[in-house]
């Protein structure tokens, strides 16, 4: 609409991503899949990637790509092992080439380990750090290179409320997720002057959270602990990702946005 | 479909401080997304402009001059929404006022009246409006959303305006507690925490230079624009944020995520 600020997109048109080019890494996970579909519904062309070469995960990402194609979006599937920086770099470069540019990168790797800290092995610790934290860094670094060349972009890291708080049997995961949140803040400082915003969506207890098991509130005390008395659905992450990806969201950066049913307000 | 969830068609919103600045832009945004809006502010002429612009968008709007320091006037404001539009879905408590003092002001120069006035306008108003609005929503038999405006000054030191910062910190705490208290009624409560945001486009060259200079202290390299609060208000007011409650959404150009060194400081130290 036209007002004293000029012709500004402050209404529903602010959420329109038509013509935007997105890469969603981790589209084989519930959160990444929901976000990829939401970006597509808002009009973006989306390349999807799994975070490993695991057959099941790649097939789930492929299914998301087919949904995007049905919406009429330009879409394709690429694959890389997110723990290997060089591979991620090649994959992101390829996606940028295929799309012409990359306006939006969503990083949604998610590997949980539930185990007492004193029993956690070096291999387990390293694996959790590599997939969640190093993977997110590899993807941010590669995305940043493209966006610095282009002079702007939107990076969205999908993380967990466990990055902000501690919990038993979750030391490695809490450390890795906490790393993602502060990586987000650091990159926002570094890349802000170049027109790149970097934000994180922190999920609470979701229907797809491996740590909580059965998400039915009737069967799950941890889910009843959430002020909203239910686990979140992956679809409830979509609109926030669309907002953070939009042109209208240029003044939010370095933030962790919680989608958690009020969980982090709990006394 | 994600864009459908953002629509506010058939919903009724109240926006306080809707005459200018952030409140005006958020009122316009809610209307653009489909809501009918009751616009409140102390200055009648300013809200008349906002209601006129909303009607031009094809939505219904009424102006209700309100001093939000007075709980009876807040009650009357909520009653007006029910009376005019038959329902209330969105309570956006935006009205607030700074208490900026000179750099040389001393703490003991601030008298009781100044202190209480700052708390009344910035904090008590949010309580009065949330109390009346939630009662109305529950009486109508549906849920709703409450959005309060806090400020980044609540989270860091702000000696020039310490009362304001304290009041806004109260708004954040109020938001968290009310979110769990009202949850059983299907009412979500969140707040927006703006950093440095220009209330209006620069009036002249001097104010443009000021905004530009101030903006260089932020990663975004600029101040925010009031209209940028609009889409955030739509997100928090709509079903698109159905699993978001008790949260503060910071919109500040990256300032609060950093701030340990001056902008541009980027050390290079070898391993």
Domains of chain A: 14-261 (3.40.50.720)
**How far is it, in rounded angstroms, from Cα B42 to Cα B45?**
9
**Whether pLDDT at A47 is above 90:** yes
Q: Given the structure tokens 């750099």, which residue do they identify?
A: B103
CB within 8 Å of chain B, chain A residues 198-257: 204, 227-229, 232-233, 236, 238-240, 242-243, 246, 248-255, 257
What's the pLDDT at B100? 84
Q: For residue range A191-219, what is the model confidence (pLDDT) as tens digits?
A: 999 999 999 999 999 999 999 999 999 99
Query: CB of B84 within 8 Å of any CB in chain A?
Result: no
**How far is it, in rounded angstroms, from Cα A193 to Cα A197?**
9
Give the count of beta carbons closer than 10 Å to the beta carbon of residue B67.
15
What's the pLDDT at B99? 86
Domains and CATH numbers, chain B: 2-251 (3.40.50.720)
CB within 8 Å: B226 and A5: yes
Q: Which residues in A lie closer than 8 A to residue B183 (C-beta atoms)?
A: 227-229, 262
Is A173 among the residues known to form the active site?
yes
**Catalytic residue selected from A112, A173, A243, A251:** A173
The SS3 call for residue A45 is: strand
Give the residue from B166, B194, B11 showing the smallest Cα distance to B94: B194
Beta bridge partners of residue A3, listed in sequence order:
A6
Taking chain B (271 residues) in runs of 10, the rounded mean pLDDT of each run is 96 97 98 98 93 98 98 98 97 93 86 95 98 98 98 94 96 98 98 97 95 96 98 98 98 97 94 93
What's the pLDDT at B213? 95
**How far is it, in rounded angstroms, from Cα B74 to Cα B144?**
18
| Percentage with pLDDT > 70 across chain A | 100
CB within 8 Å of chain B, chain A residues 157-186: 184-185
């Amino acid at each position: 609409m036209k007002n004293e600020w000029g012709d500004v997109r402050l209404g529903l048109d602010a959420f329109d991503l038509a013509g935007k080019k997105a890469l969603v890494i981790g589209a084989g996970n519930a959160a990444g899949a929901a976000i990829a579909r939401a970006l597509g519904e808002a009009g973006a062309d989306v390349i999807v990637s799994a975070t490993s070469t695991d057959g099941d995960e790649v097939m789930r990402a492929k299914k998301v790509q087919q949904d995007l194609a049905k919406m009429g979006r330009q879409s394709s599937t690429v694959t890389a092992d997110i723990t290997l920086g060089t591979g991620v770099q090649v994959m992101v470069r390829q996606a940028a080439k295929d799309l012409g540019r990359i306006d939006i990168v969503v990083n949604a790797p998610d590997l949980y380990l539930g185990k007492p800290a004193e029993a956690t092995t070096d291999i387990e610790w390293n694996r959790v750090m590599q997939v969640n934290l190093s993977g997110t860094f590899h993807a941010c670094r590669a995305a940043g290179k493209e966006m610095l060349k282009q002079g702007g972009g939107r990076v969205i890291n999908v993380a967990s409320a466990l990055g902000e708080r501690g919990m038993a049997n979750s030391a490695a995961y809490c450390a890795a997720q906490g790393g993602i949140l502060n990586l987000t803040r650091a990159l926002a400082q570094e890349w802000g002057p170049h027109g790149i915003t970097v934000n994180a969506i922190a999920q609470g207890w979701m229907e797809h959270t491996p740590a909580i098991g059965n998400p039915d509130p009737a069967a799950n005390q941890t889910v009843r602990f959430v002020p909203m008395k239910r686990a979140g659905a992956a679809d409830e992450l979509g609109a926030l990702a669309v907002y953070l990806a939009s042109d209208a969201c240029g003044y939010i950066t370095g933030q962790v946005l919680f989608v958690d049913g009020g969980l982090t307000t709990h006394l | 479909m994600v864009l459908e969830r953002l629509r506010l068609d058939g919903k009724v919103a109240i926006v306080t401080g809707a005459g200018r600045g952030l409140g005006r832009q958020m009122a316009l945004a809610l209307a653009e997304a489909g809501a009918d809006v009751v616009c409140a502010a102390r200055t009648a002429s300013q809200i008349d402009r906002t209601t006129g612009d909303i009607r031009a968008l094809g939505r219904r709007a009424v102006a209700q001059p309100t001093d939000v320091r007075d709980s009876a006037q807040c009650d009357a404001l909520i009653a007006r929404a029910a009376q005019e539009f038959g329902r209330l879905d969105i309570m956006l408590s935006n009205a607030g006022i700074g208490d900026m003092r000179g750099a040389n002001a001393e703490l003991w120069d601030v008298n009781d009246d100044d202190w209480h006035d700052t708390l009344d306008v910035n904090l008590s108003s949010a309580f009065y409006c949330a109390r009346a609005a939630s009662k109305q929503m529950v009486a109508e038999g549906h849920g709703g959303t409450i959005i309060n405006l806090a400020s980044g000054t609540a989270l860091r030191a702000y000696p020039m305006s310490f009362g304001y910062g304290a009041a806004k910190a109260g708004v954040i705490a109020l938001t968290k507690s009310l979110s769990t208290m009202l949850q059983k009624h299907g009412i979500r409560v969140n707040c927006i925490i703006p950093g440095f945001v220009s209330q209006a486009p620069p009036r002249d060259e001097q104010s443009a230079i000021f905004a530009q200079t101030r903006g260089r202290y932020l990663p975004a390299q600029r101040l925010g624009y009031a209209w940028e609060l609009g889409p955030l208000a739509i997100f928090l007011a709509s079903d698109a944020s159905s699993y978001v409650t008790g949260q503060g959404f910071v919109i500040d150009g990256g300032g609060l995520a950093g701030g340990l060194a001056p902008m541009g400081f980027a050390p290079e130290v070898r391993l």
